[in-house]
Amino acid sequence: MNRNIFITLAFTFIMGLGFWLNACQSGNDNYKMLADNPELVHRGMRRITDIMRHDIFSPPQASRIYAYSAVAAYEALVPGYPDYRSLAGQLNGLTECPKPESGAEYCYPLASVTALMKVGKNLIFSESSMTDLEETIFEEFQAMDLPEAVYERSVKFGQDVADHIIQWTKSDNYAQTRSAPKYTIDVKDRSRWVPTPPQYNDAVEPHWKLIRPWVLDSARQLKPIPNIPFSEDPNSEFTKAVRQVYDVSKTLSDFEKESALYWDCNPFEVDVAGHLMVATKKISPGGHWVNITGHACRKVNASIIKSAETYALVSLALADAFISCWTEKYIGNLVRPETVINRTFDPSWHPFIETPPFPEHTSGHATISAAAATILTKSFGEPFEFTDSTEMIFNMAPRTFKSFYEASDQAAMSRLWGGIHYHIANEGGRMNGREIGNYIWNKIQTRTQ
pLDDT digits (tens, 9 = 90+) for 215-249: 999 999 999 999 999 999 999 999 999 999 999 99
- Measure the CA–CA gap between 313 and 404, rounded to whole angstroms: 15
Among 328, 412, 398, CA closest to 370: 412
Cα 227 to chain centroid distance, Å, stands at 27
* More confident: 84 or 3: 84
Q: Please state the domain extents for the chain.
A: 20-174, 185-443
Cα 191 to chain centroid distance, Å, stands at 32
pLDDT-based confidence at residue 184 (cuts at 50, 70, 90): very high
Helices then strands, counting H and E runs in the chain, come out as: 15, 4
Let me know if the fold of 20-174 is the same as that of 185-443.
yes
pLDDT at 18: 42
Mean pLDDT within 420-426: 98
pTM > 0.85? yes
pLDDT at 276: 54
Residue 295: burial class (beta carbons within 10 Å; 0-12, 13-18, 19+): middle
Half-sphere exposure at residue 338, Cβ-oriented, CA atoms within 13 angstroms = 24
Task: Answer yes or no: is pLDDT of 15 > 60.
Answer: no
pLDDT at 23: 35
Q: Domain 20-174: which CATH class?
A: mainly alpha
pLDDT at 20: 36
CATH topology of domain 185-443: Vanadium-containing Chloroperoxidase; domain 2 (1.10.606)
pLDDT-based confidence at residue 282 (cuts at 50, 70, 90): confident
- Measure the CA–CA gap between 111 and 187, rounded to whole angstroms: 53
Kindly report, residue by residue over 97-120, the tens digit of the pLDDT: 999 999 999 999 999 999 999 999
Given a contact cutoff of 8 angstroms between Cβ atoms, the answer to whether 251 and 389 are in contact is: no
The bridge status of strand 276-279 relative to strand 399-401 is unpaired
Kindly report, residue by residue over 117-170, the tens digit of the pLDDT: 999 999 987 778 788 888 898 899 999 999 999 999 999 999 999 999 999 999
Instruction: Say what percent of the chain tops pLDDT 70.
Output: 90
| CB within 8 Å of 91: residues ≥ 6 apart | 71, 214, 215, 316, 444
pLDDT-based confidence at residue 322 (cuts at 50, 70, 90): very high
pLDDT-based confidence at residue 401 (cuts at 50, 70, 90): very high
- Measure the CA–CA gap between 179 and 398, rounded to whole angstroms: 41
Task: Answer yes or no: is pLDDT of 10 > 80.
Answer: no
Q: Which secondary structure element, helix H or strand E, spans residue 277, and what is its range?
A: strand 276-279
Among 292, 312, 302, 412, CA closest to 364: 412
Q: Which residues of 39-68 are buried (b: 16+ CB within 10 A; e: fewer)?
A: ebbbbbbbbbbbbbbebbbbbbbbbbbbbb
Task: Answer yes or no: is pLDDT of 298 > 80.
Answer: yes
pLDDT-based confidence at residue 392 (cuts at 50, 70, 90): confident
